[in-house]
Amino acid sequence: MAYQITSQCISCKLCQPICPTGAIKIEEDGRHWIDQKLCTNCADTVYTVPQCQAGCPTCNGCVKVPSDYWEGWFEKYNRVIAKLTKKQDYWDRWFNCYS
């Protein structure tokens, strides 16, 4: 299953040069997109994780294309929960630092 670029992308251009198959394209307006025919999930390369996702500063700029509705639903759910959890961590750290 290939990867895709989401609306979270800030067009930082970090992912394009590190893609081993040249699957990440940039439109004239700066919008990034992934050619699904070229994306191999970085399988069969020296990398053990998808490079576009690993290097993305937004964390959710490059995500795997869900194979069906429920896989997509759970991925989105897990991302939202992770954000909420991180906020909790942030406030825990803030409280420990300033209390």
The residue ranges that bind ligand SF4 (CB under 6 A) are 3, 5, 9-15, 19-21, 23-24, 32, 34, 39-42, 50-52, 55-58, 61-62
Q: Which is nearer to ligand SF4, 35 or 92 (CB)?
A: 35
Q: Which is nearer to ligand SF4, 4 or 72 (CB)?
A: 4
Buried b (16+ CB within 10 A) or exposed e, 60-87: bbbbbeeeeeeeeeeeeeeeeeeeeeee
Residues with Cβ within 8 Å of 13's Cβ and at least 6 positions away in sequence, in order, are 26, 32
Q: Which is nearer to ligand SF4, 12 or 81 (CB)?
A: 12
